[in-house]
């Protein structure tokens, strides 16, 4: 099973929606709650491939997937399960 990490804010609707999809799929993930923590947000930005500061930002096997819309797009294309079942 893949290693999944997600950077979130507590009341972000996109974060909640992304976690809901992962939860429905039974995916265990590490959540980094970065509410108001600029150092944590800077660390998230450095990890990403496009410098986005928005949340959520999702990483699967240390690969930057993007945000909520990107996660749902992978699901719609049938590619999310392939990523989630890959070993790190």
User: Strands of 4-8's sheet, edge to edge?
Assistant: 30-33, 4-8, 57-60, 63-66
Q: Tokens representing 71?
A: 């996660």
Domain ranges in the chain are 4-84
What's the length of the chain? Answer: 88
Superfamily of domain 4-84: Glutaredoxin (3.40.30.10)
Q: Tokens representing 87?
A: 């070993």
How many Å apart are CA 18 and CA 69, to the nearest integer? 8
Q: Please give the model's pTM, rounded to 2 decimal places.
A: 0.94
pLDDT (tens digit, 0 to 9) for every residue of the chain, 88 residues total?
Answer: 899 999 999 999 999 999 999 999 999 999 999 999 999 999 999 999 888 899 999 999 999 999 999 999 999 999 999 999 987 7
């Amino acid at each position: 099973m893949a290693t999944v990490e997600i950077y979130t804010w507590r009341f972000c609707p996109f974060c909640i929606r992304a976690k809901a999809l992962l939860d429905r799929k039974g995916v265990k993930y590490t959540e980094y709650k970065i509410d108001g923590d600029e150092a944590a947000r800077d660390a998230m930005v450095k990890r990403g491939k496009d410098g986005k500061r928005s949340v959520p930002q999702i990483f699967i096997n240390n690969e930057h997937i993007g945000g909520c819309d990107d996660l749902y797009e992978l699901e719609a294309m049938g590619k999310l399960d392939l990523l989630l079942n890959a070993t790190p």
